[in-house]
Amino acid sequence: MDIVIPILTFIAGGVAGFAGGVYYLRKQMTNMSMDNKQIQQMARQMGVNLNQKQLNQMNKMMQSMNKKK
């Protein structure tokens, strides 16, 4: 029993910490808003160069995702 309880506590703490982290990250992502300049910079970092039409589509998509949640 001296070995089992600490191991179970460690596992339960890890699972609870992971679940809390995922919840916090999802909440932060839904509250995040980006302007055109930030979207363009993020796309360039991924190796994609967006034109104005694509940039507008990304903006609409991100706004619709924020409204759903």
- Supply the pLDDT for residue 68: 65
3-state secondary structure 29-66: HHHCCCCHHHHHHHHHHCCCCCCHHHHHHHHHHHHHHH
- Supply the pLDDT for residue 40: 87
- Supply the pLDDT for residue 34: 75
Which helix H or strand E contains 27, and what residues bound it?
helix 4-31
3 state SS of 21: helix
Q: Would you kindly state where each structural domain of the chain is located, as residue ranges?
A: 1-32, 34-69
- Supply the pLDDT for residue 21: 93
pLDDT profile of the chain (69 residues), mean per 10: 92 96 84 79 87 88 72
- Supply the pLDDT for residue 69: 55
What is this structure's pTM?
0.49
